[in-house]
Amino acid sequence: MQKKRHLLITGGAGFIGSHVVRLFVNKYPDYEIINLDKLTYAGNLANLKDIESRPNYRFEKCDICDFDAVCNIFRKYDIDGVIHLAAESHVDRSIKDPFTFAKTNVLGTLSMLQAAKTYWNNDWEGKLFYHISTDEVYGALEFDGSMFTEQTKYNPHSPYSASKASSDHFVRAFHDTYGMPTIVTNCSNNYGPYQFPEKLIPLFINNIRHHKPLPVYGKGENVRDWLFVEDHAKAIDTIFHNGKIAETYNIGGFNEWKNIDLIKVIIKTVDKLLGNPEGTSLDLITYVTDRSGHDLRYAIDATKLKNELGWEPSLQFEEGIEKTVQWYLDNQEWLDNITSGEYEKYYDEMYNQR
Ligand code: NAD
Ligand code: DAU
């Protein structure tokens, strides 16, 4: 029997957050799950339609940078656990507008930590501040087989990863200075349903659907390690309940793909599911100017998490990618609702600058 928790999940209307909220609402009917989200361009309550009327679910529209408003939410719900996902998450946007990333990711995280510290008032019994971070804080690997471990030194290159690195340092500082029970996890690239279609996989699925060019940055040789989002949510559940205080855990898919090879798999899968002859959409591939400071390769060594807490990815990539493509093809209204209007203008401007 799990102890009743009053759990604040930030960024729950975003991609990964919505999967975490859904998992916790379904799996822990006795917990009160409060989703705190500002609903930026990336936040979408349609991601949570299936659970929005559950008795153990609450939504609070709130900016994590608004310290007083966050304190009120801690008081209102007697919060004892935080899973902090709210962030600006897209590298290309961080290159255009680094201030917004510093504000949300650094100051917003500090505001969350300070609100938790104020409300918990040094009584740390049964409390946890769990911060969700990224493998990008470790910098870039060569094509030499090495991987990021929990001991790898931070070496961020983009304004996004610099802001996430800074937020990770603040979380650890709150443990070391005040004794706050914290955990940090650093995860690799996620894919799956409900991802905002500015990120590689949903963007390319959507562009193929509209016969639009597929902008491959540089030579398409960069490597990413892909994990199905529901596996990330399960890892977060495992770590929230069984992780050791003050520890860092890497989470990854043991699933590295060179971008251009991954893109060919996406094209093949979309063409197959749309009933097009194989290879139909290959000529949409368009090589464009590379992302500035584009990290060459990420690869996560998630052995510690497997050995200590027994988590490992459950879904094979071929199955995950087919499930993902099918989901976007079945949910075209969801895609159309967020890609029309403001976002379409923004995307066309970004594309024309490349
Ligand atoms: P996302 O951009 O899809 O969602 C972010 C959510 O945060 C949105 O709902 C948005 O409205 C909310 N938000 C943004 N600013 C806010 C603010 N000031 N106050 C309150 N809410 C705010 O992001 P995602 O891809 O789901 O990533 C979630 C977290 O996981 C981030 O911290 C990200 O750094 C981390 N992460 C992402 C990946 C990935 O592959 N997507 C991998 C590793 C780690
Ligand atoms: O590694 C974890 C990170 O993964 C998360 O912390 C970030 O929040 C998340 O956005 C993701 O970052 P990436 O920059 O790796 O993801 P993105 O989908 O933007 O790009 C994946 C790769 O594809 C990257 O090498 C850049 C390339 N790319 C991307 C886009 C959008 C293209 O070639 N063309 C594109 O149009």
What percent of the chain is predicted at pLDDT more than 70?
A: 99
What separation in Å is there between the alpha carbon of 74 and the centre of ligand 2?
Answer: 34
Q: Which two tokens stand for residue 349?
A: 């401007």
- Nearest alpha carbon to residue 302 among 290, 310, 294: 310
CATH class belonging to 6-195+225-255+294-317: alpha beta
- Contact in structure between 296 and 142 (CB atoms under 8 Å): yes
Ligand 2 pocket residue status of 161, Cβ below 6 Å: no
Residue 2's contacts (CB-CB under 8 Å, 6 or more residues apart) are: 28, 30, 31, 241
Q: For residue 106, which ligand has an atom nearest its CA?
A: 1
Which amino acid would we find at residue 282?
A: L
Mutate to test the pocket of ligand 1, among 40, 171, 189, 255 (most ligand atoms within 8 A of CB): 40
Ligand 2 pocket residue status of 19, Cβ below 6 Å: no
For 110, the 3-state DSSP assignment is helix
Q: What is the pLDDT of residue 343?
A: 81
- Its pTM stands at 0.98
Ligand 1 atom closest to residue 108's alpha carbon, by position in its atom list: 18
Describe the strand order of the beta sheet including 128-134 as a list of residue ranges.
57-61, 32-37, 6-10, 81-84, 128-134, 182-187, 248-251
- Contact in structure between 108 and 67 (CB atoms under 8 Å): no
The per-residue pLDDT for range 219-254, each reduced to its tens digit, is: 999 999 999 999 999 999 999 999 999 999 999 999
Domain boundaries, the chain: 6-195+225-255+294-317
- In tens digits, what is the pLDDT along the chain, a chain of 354 residues? 556 899 999 999 999 999 999 999 999 999 999 999 999 999 999 999 999 999 999 999 999 999 999 999 999 999 999 999 999 999 999 999 999 999 999 999 999 999 999 999 999 999 999 999 999 999 999 999 999 999 999 999 999 999 999 999 999 999 999 999 999 999 999 999 999 999 999 999 999 999 999 999 999 999 999 999 999 999 999 999 999 999 999 999 999 999 999 999 999 999 999 999 999 999 999 999 999 999 999 999 999 999 999 999 999 999 999 999 999 999 999 999 999 878 888 888 888 888
Ligand 1 pocket residue status of 187, Cβ below 6 Å: yes
Q: What is the pLDDT of residue 294?
A: 98
Residue 200's contacts (CB-CB under 8 Å, 6 or more residues apart) are: 259, 262, 263
Ligand 1 atom closest to residue 86's alpha carbon, by position in its atom list: 7
What separation in Å is there between the alpha carbon of 49 and the centre of ligand 2?
Answer: 27
Ligand 1 pocket residue status of 136, Cβ below 6 Å: no
